[in-house]
């Protein structure tokens, strides 16, 4: 019931915005045309000039309206994103399982070593910015299931090259999580596996060269 009422109100609101835009544009157009008609140096130019002035003013009004709407949308989006990124839950990093928590990656990392081991995240928000690598000691350990990514990138690293300044998630499981503002680091040999587990990754590096070994885990 409430969903139907909310849908009706949203429909009225959207139509009212359109009506307000059309009405305001029409008013500005008519007002400008009238002003042009009574202006001494424009009055002799005739009706076509008056109408042209009105249409120009109306078009400019619409452009300003759209610019204001876009600016407002971006401000709201930035405010929501800022609130999302800076409001994390207080957690105990020694827990083995987290459910429906908003977690900053830095709150999971031990001061001794940057490794997160054998954790299970269920319907959590994992928030960066952080460089992250995934690892499994056995094929059956860890994994990602039905996770959504926003502002997530991926970088391919050459095999047998040391990597620094990242957090390693070892044997960790992510189920129906939202991952935001992190950069995944993958070895060349894990390229195929990464695209299967996390489809739609935004790669910052080119795919492995033809002939390179890109295996599936």
Residue 213 resides in a domain: no
Contact 141, 171 (CB under 8 A): yes
Contact 123, 177 (CB under 8 A): yes
Lowest mean pLDDT among 2-16, 64-78, 87-101: 2-16
Q: Which helix (H) or strand (E) holds 25?
A: helix 2-38
β-pair partners for 179: 126, 149
Which residues, other chains included, contact 34 with Cβ-Cβ below 8 Å and sequence gap of 6+? Answer: 50
208 within a domain of the structure (yes/no): no
170, part of any domain: yes
- Among 86, 111, 144, the domain-final residue is 86
What percentage of the chain has pLDDT greater than the value 90?
20
Cα angle for residues 129, 81, 73 (degrees, 5° grid): 140
Look over the chain and give the mean of its residue pLDDT values, rounded to a whole number. Answer: 76
Pick the more confident residue, 208 or 46.
Answer: 208
Same domain for 29 and 80: yes
Q: CA-based Rg of the chain, rounded to a whole angstrom?
A: 28
Q: Are residues 82 and 120 in the same domain?
A: no
Identify the bridge partners of residue 3 per DSSP, sorted by sequence position.
Answer: none
pLDDT digits (tens, 9 = 90+) for 42-70: 566 666 766 776 677 777 777 777 777 77
What total of structural domains would you count in the chain?
Answer: 2
Domain boundary among 26, 56, 86: 86
Query: Mind listing the pLDDT tens digit for each residue in 130-141?
Result: 899 998 888 878
Domain membership of residue 136 (yes or no) is: yes
Asked if residues 57 and 37 have their Cβ atoms less than 8 Å apart, the reply is no
61 and 16 together in one domain: yes
Q: Which of 52, 86, 120 is the last residue in one of the domains?
A: 86
pLDDT of 214 above 60: no
The rounded distance, in Å, linking the Cα atoms of 187 and 193 is: 10
The model's pLDDT over 33-49, given as tens digits with 9 standing for 90+, comes to 666 666 766 566 666 76
pTM over 0.85: no
- Do 59 and 105 sit in the same domain of this protein? no
Instruction: Supply the pLDDT for residue 215.
Output: 45
Q: Is 216 part of any domain?
A: no
Q: Does the pLDDT value for residue 120 go beyond 80?
A: yes
Domain that holds residue 104: 97-203
If you average pLDDT over residues 86-98, what whole number do you get?
77
Is there a single domain that holds both residue 42 and residue 67? yes
Percent of the chain with pLDDT over 70: 66
Residue 43, pLDDT score:
60
pLDDT band at 11 (very low <50, low <70, confident <90, very high): low
Question: Helix H segments across 87-206?
Answer: 191-197
Does the pLDDT at position 151 exceed 60? yes
My answer on whether 73 and 144 are in the same domain is no
Burial string for 72-92 (b: 16+ CB within 10 Å, else e) reads: eeeeeeeeeeeebbeebeeee
């Amino acid at each position: 019931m409430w969903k139907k009422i909310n849908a009706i109100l949203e429909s009225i609101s959207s139509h009212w915005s359109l009506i307000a835009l059309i009405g305001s544009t029409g008013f500005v157009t008519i007002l400008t045309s009238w002003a042009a008609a009574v202006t001494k140096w424009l009055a002799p130019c005739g009706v076509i000039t008056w109408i042209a002035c009105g249409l120009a003013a109306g078009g400019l009004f619409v452009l300003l309206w759209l610019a204001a709407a876009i600016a407002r949308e971006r401000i709201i989006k930035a405010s929501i994103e800022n609130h999302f990124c800076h409001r994390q839950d207080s957690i105990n990093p020694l827990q083995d399982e987290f459910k429906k928590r908003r977690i900053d990656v830095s709150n999971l990392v031990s001061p001794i070593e940057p490794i997160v081991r054998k954790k299970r995240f269920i319907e959590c928000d994992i928030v960066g910015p952080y460089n992250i690598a995934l690892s499994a000691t056995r094929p059956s350990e860890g994994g990602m299931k039905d996770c959504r990514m926003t502002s997530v990138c991926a970088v391919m690293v050459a095999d047998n090259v040391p990597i620094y300044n990242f957090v390693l998630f070892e044997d960790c499981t992510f189920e129906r999580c939202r991952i935001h503002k992190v950069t995944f680091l993958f070895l060349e040999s894990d390229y195929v596996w990464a695209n299967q587990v996390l489809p739609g990754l935004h790669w910052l590096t080119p795919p492995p060269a033809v002939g390179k070994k890109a295996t599936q885990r």
